């Protein structure tokens, strides 16, 4: 029994030391042109799943090997486990589907650890993934455990690259050519900023006039970023655009709306004072 335990411990230790380098080399050969962050996520995901699966297999082998030393006949037990497994398989189709879907998710590299995904109607950061389920943490900090049998469509927000996609509204009186020049200039300045140069692949720029809304003209702004950096870039872009608009006298609909409400309130107050005087 001591020999079995020593061999099992040595096997697990050796597996842990050899598995990561082998997976790292294989993944880098397969994903040589992919961004480094994608390669790292793929290596971490596969290493975790394969190691834990192998650990369970080794543990089962150790149990089956040691039990005969206590006088337990494992042959009937193995046969019984086979029948039980068959019965459980018929009654646990969702569990089987979980595992099958999990295998396809891992093999096809649909998503991995540290990706932001939407699956089964839940959006969050992938904290853990195994053959049966995926663990997500959403923006509120809530942890969701999603069985793979419920994953029909997987939307990966951070695979390869991410995208800035936002609308900015300006007043109808604005010179749109000037507004577009200001937005494109701010996007280029962000891309050249040392603090954001590594996060931006394609500087944010105006794609088109997107909509004639009730309050103003909406411009579509797009740009490519490193994975999971789109929200940071969009937050900074909004801040810089507000400052640039103020400096260039570009009026946004909210300001126009506030001015209209203030003027209307003044007229109502003036009319009330006249009525009171009369």
Report yes or no: 170 and 220 within 8 Å, Cβ to Cβ.
no
Q: What is the pLDDT of residue 85?
A: 60
Q: Which secondary-structure segment (H or E) carries 154?
A: strand 154-156
Tens digit of pLDDT for each residue in 175-206? 999 999 999 999 999 999 999 999 999 999 99
How much is the pTM?
0.68
Please provide the DSSP assignment of 76-138 as one string: HHHHHHHHHHHHHHHH-HHHHHHHHHHHHHHHTT---TT-EEEETTEEEEEEEE-SSEEEEE-
CATH architecture of 162-257: 2-Layer Sandwich (3.30)
Closest to 219 measured CA to CA, from 228, 231, 206, 229: 206
Main-chain dihedrals φ then ψ at residue 100, nearest 5 degrees = -65, -45
In the block, tokens 């969702």 appear at 94
Q: What is the pLDDT of residue 169?
A: 93
Tens digit of pLDDT for each residue in 3-44? 888 888 888 888 778 877 887 787 777 776 677 777 788 888
Cβ contacts of 251 within 8 Å, gap of 6 or more: 170, 171, 173, 174, 245
Per-residue pLDDT of the chain (278 residues; tens, 9 = 90+): 888 888 888 888 887 788 778 877 877 777 766 777 777 888 888 888 888 888 888 888 888 788 777 777 766 666 656 655 655 555 567 777 888 899 899 888 899 989 999 999 999 999 999 888 999 999 999 999 999 999 999 999 998 899 999 999 999 999 999 999 999 999 999 999 999 999 999 999 999 999 998 888 999 999 999 999 999 999 999 999 999 999 999 988 865 555 666 667 777 777 778 878 87
How many CB atoms neighbour CB 198 within 10 A? 10
């Amino acid at each position: 029994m001591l020999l079995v335990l020593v061999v099992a411990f040595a096997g697990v230790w050796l597996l842990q030391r050899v598995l990561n380098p082998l997976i790292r080399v294989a993944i880098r050969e397969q994903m040589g042109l992919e961004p480094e962050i994608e390669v790292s996520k793929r290596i971490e995901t596969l290493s975790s799943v394969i190691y834990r699966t192998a650990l369970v297999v080794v543990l089962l082998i150790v149990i089956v090997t040691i039990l005969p030393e206590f006088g337990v006949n494992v042959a009937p037990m193995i046969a019984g486990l086979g029948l039980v497994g068959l019965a459980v398989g018929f009654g646990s189709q969702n569990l089987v589907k979980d595992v099958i879907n999990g295998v396809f998710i891992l093999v096809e590299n649909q998503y991995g650890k540290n990706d932001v995904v939407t699956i089964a109607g839940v959006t969050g950061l992938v904290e853990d993934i195994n053959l049966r389920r995926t663990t997500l943490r959403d923006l509120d900090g809530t942890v969701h455990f999603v069985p793979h049998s419920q994953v029909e469509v997987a939307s990966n927000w951070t695979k390869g690259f991410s995208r800035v996609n936002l609308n900015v509204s300006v007043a109808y009186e604005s010179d749109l050519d000037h507004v577009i020049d200001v937005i494109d200039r701010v996007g280029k300045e962000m891309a050249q900023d040392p603090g954001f140069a590594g996060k931006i692949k394609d500087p944010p720029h105006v794609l088109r006039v997107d909509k004639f809304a009730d309050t103003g003209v909406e411009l579509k702004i797009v740009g490519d970023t490193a994975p999971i950096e789109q929200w940071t870039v969009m937050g900074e872009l909004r801040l810089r655009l507000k400052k640039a608009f103020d400096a260039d006298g570009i009026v946004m609909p909210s300001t126009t709306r506030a001015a209209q409400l203030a003027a209307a309130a003044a007229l109502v107050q003036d009319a009330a004072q006249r009525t009171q005087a009369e």
